[in-house]
Structure 1
Amino acid sequence: MKENKTNLILIAAVTGFIVFLLAGAVIFSDSSKKTSEIQPAAQDIESHHQSVPPDESVFNSLFGKKAPNFILESFEGKAIELEKLNGKKVVLFFTEGLMCYPACWNQMAAFGEDSAFNNSDVITLNIAVDNNNDWKQAIEKMPELAKTIVLFDTDRSVSQQYGALTLPSSMHKGQFPGHTYVIIDREGIIKFTYDDPLMGVRNDELKKELEKIK
């Protein structure tokens, strides 16, 4: 009798151990399945953030052609249309804007301080992908920026149209412009293009190009 009782206890213990092992196997299998289901999503996120390779084809094709027209709003809330500036020499500066401190800010401030870029004959337009509220932060930090015209290309359509999103100067290719110049003559024809990965202040070089346009 005692032996039968011992056998029953042993059988119960073995059975319980087997059930424990089976339950563990099921949980592990389910966990592995969930992990495998999540993995592709992580891979998708990684591929989404891969940098876009440099592409200068659109930008390099601009020279000698009519500048693509655009209408953008300035910091002061004024809508500025490029075609309505015919008769003036126009300098476009495509910039990352708020995040490009201090290089881009220094160039924009230099434009504002130099009358050669803002007079009856020449107008300079700084095109950034920020919005009005964000740009207030920049002016608070560097008040000189208020002296130059900043236009907001918030949907990046103009920057893309000019091929400025995938140039070597862009630190976030495909998403933001970098440090890029375009000069347009009085008839709306593009006479000069320059992308500057060194992100310098190029007033002197640009003045020479403006002087070539009569």
Structure 2
Amino acid sequence: MNNSQKHYVIIATEIIIAVIVLGFVFIKSTSKPATKTQAQTQSSETSMADHHKPKAADSAVFDGLLGKAAPDFTLPSYDGKQISLKDFRGQNVILFFNEGLMCYPACWNQIVAFGKDNAFKDKNTVVINITVDSKDDWKKAIDKMPELAENTVLLDTERSVSNLYGVLILNSSMHRGQFPGHTYIIIDKEGIVRFTQDDAQMAIRNKELLAQIEEL
């Protein structure tokens, strides 16, 4: 191999090495942004998931009711009366906070079942159903299920009593902050809260509640 040929071989080798180096640099430089973008995407997806994740229920107010005097309140009934909790002193009281109009048929059936069950009257117990519906909205429910009119339903339209008892942000509420779920509070004849239950099952609980009344 003469000097001229050696010169061309050296040049060709240098070119090949240069191409390999440039290719390595290119691959490395393009892979970094892809990795960074993937990390950013994962971070963004995590952030969005956290944003849509429902807030944990805060039951501090509700849990603090047991053993204490039930907060008094006055609310209008569907038929226009002003009903106060203190009016029932000397009787056991069950407060049933529920989703009202939007909870068809479960809550409606629960309310009607209370009214038809004479066992509560026999136990000197009054059931007060509380919804956050307006009078016009509750009329829609009565028009569809007339038996509802035979029960005491109070309209907590401003949500003042629901907030007072801490029932708007419990686990059973499907529209947390706006509607109560399915929550029972038993108050004894002296006005003391003796039993509380937040029930997401939407079942008729008359037997269980009567058993709790028996223990008072």
* TM-score between the two structures when normalised by the length of structure 1: 0.74
| Equivalent residues in 2 for 1:28-177, closer than 5 Å | 51-118=54-121, 121-177=124-180
SS, match of residue 134 in structure 1: helix
The alignment yields a C-alpha RMSD, in angstroms, of 1.7
Paired amino acid for 1:164: V
Cα deviation, 1:59-91, whole Å, max 9, x if unaligned, reads: 111100000000001111111111121100000
Q: Could you tell me whether the CA contact under 8 Å between 1:112 and 1:118 is conserved in 2?
A: no
2:199 matched residue in structure 1: 196
1:208 matched residue in structure 2: 211
Deviation at 1:97, TM superposition (A): 0.5
Distance 2:199 2:89 in 1: 26
Cα deviation, 1:108-161, whole Å, max 9, x if unaligned, reads: 010111112346821110000001111111011111211210000000010011
* TM-score between the two structures when normalised by the length of structure 2: 0.73
Distance 1:146 1:115 in 2: 17
SS, match of residue 189 in structure 2: coil
SS, match of residue 166 in structure 2: coil
Paired amino acid for 2:155: F
Deviation at 1:174, TM superposition (A): 0.9
Which of 172, 186, 189 is equivalent to 1:186? 189
Distance 1:62 1:50 in 2: 28
Off by >4 Å, runs of 4+ in structure 1: 49-52
Paired amino acid for 1:178: G
Paired amino acid for 1:157: S
Q: Could you tell me whether the CA contact under 8 Å between 1:73 and 1:151 is conserved in 2?
A: yes
Distance 2:151 2:117 in 1: 10
Distance 2:151 2:55 in 1: 31
Distance 2:53 2:161 in 1: 23
Cα deviation, 1:173-207, whole Å, max 9, x if unaligned, reads: 11110000000000000000000011111001001
Q: Could you tell me whether the CA contact under 8 Å between 2:123 and 2:213 is conserved in 1?
A: no
Paired amino acid for 1:58: V
Larger radius of gyration: 2
SS, match of residue 127 in structure 2: strand
Deviation at 1:103, TM superposition (A): 1.2
Question: Which ranges in structure 2 are unaligned for 5 or more consecutive residues?
Answer: 1-50
- Of all paired residues, the percent bearing the same amino acid is 57
- Size of the alignment, in residue pairs? 166
Paired amino acid for 1:85: F
Q: Could you tell me whether the CA contact under 8 Å between 2:170 and 2:180 is conserved in 1?
A: yes
Question: Which ranges in structure 1 are unaligned for 5 or more consecutive residues?
Answer: 1-46
Paired amino acid for 2:212: E
